[in-house]
């Protein structure tokens, strides 16, 4: 058996796994649209040269590691790829939660715990508003039915 070949094969496999793991939280132009449609997704639109983006990375990585139930958390290089049309990037980093078709920009403190709390708050607020709207529609339909009898 050629040990050099086996060693090279092992190194190649390790590199493939490393790059696959390293980029698993990086969305691309195609995948970001699918993620937004599926939602919810929290995205850091960054520029590789941006110092503010580099400063955010450790906290965003903490958020990724901790996770938020039911929410995908991704990076997106807005320099090397085209951001979705629903995102207006005027500075870096631009952090956006996409939920039920709505892009909601995050402007809070750049700490993992703050971002997590904000995500949960926004989702609960939107869900509560939607539930209230549905209940109001049901009540209106019930009232209209009662009036026609």
Write out the catalytic residue numbers. 50, 53
Q: What tokens does 22 get? A: 């390293």
DSSP 88-133: --SSSSEEEEEETTEEEEE-S-S-HHHHHHHHHHHHHHHHHHHHHH
Which two three-digit tokens encode residue 41? 């997704």
Quick check: 101 and 39 in contact, CB under 8 A?
yes
Are the CB atoms for 82 and 29 separated by under 8 Å?
A: yes
Q: Residue 93 is encoded by which pair of tokens?
A: 């980093």
């Amino acid at each position: 058996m050629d040990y050099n070949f086996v060693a090279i094969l092992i190194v190649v496999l390790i590199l493939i796994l490393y790059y696959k793991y390293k980029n698993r939280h990086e969305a691309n132009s195609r995948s970001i649209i699918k993620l937004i449609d599926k939602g919810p997704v929290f995205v850091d639109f960054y520029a590789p040269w941006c110092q503010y983006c580099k400063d955010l990375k450790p906290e965003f990585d903490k958020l990724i590691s901790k996770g938020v139930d039911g929410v995908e958390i991704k990076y997106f290089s807005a320099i090397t790829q085209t951001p979705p049309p629903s995102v207006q990037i005027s500075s870096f980093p631009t952090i956006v939660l996409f939920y039920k078709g709505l892009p909601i920009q995050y402007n809070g403190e750049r700490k993992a715990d703050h971002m997590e709390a904000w995500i949960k708050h926004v989702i609960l607020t939107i869900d509560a508003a939607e539930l209230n709207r549905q209940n109001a529609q049901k009540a209106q339909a019930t009232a209209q039915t009662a009036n026609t009898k």
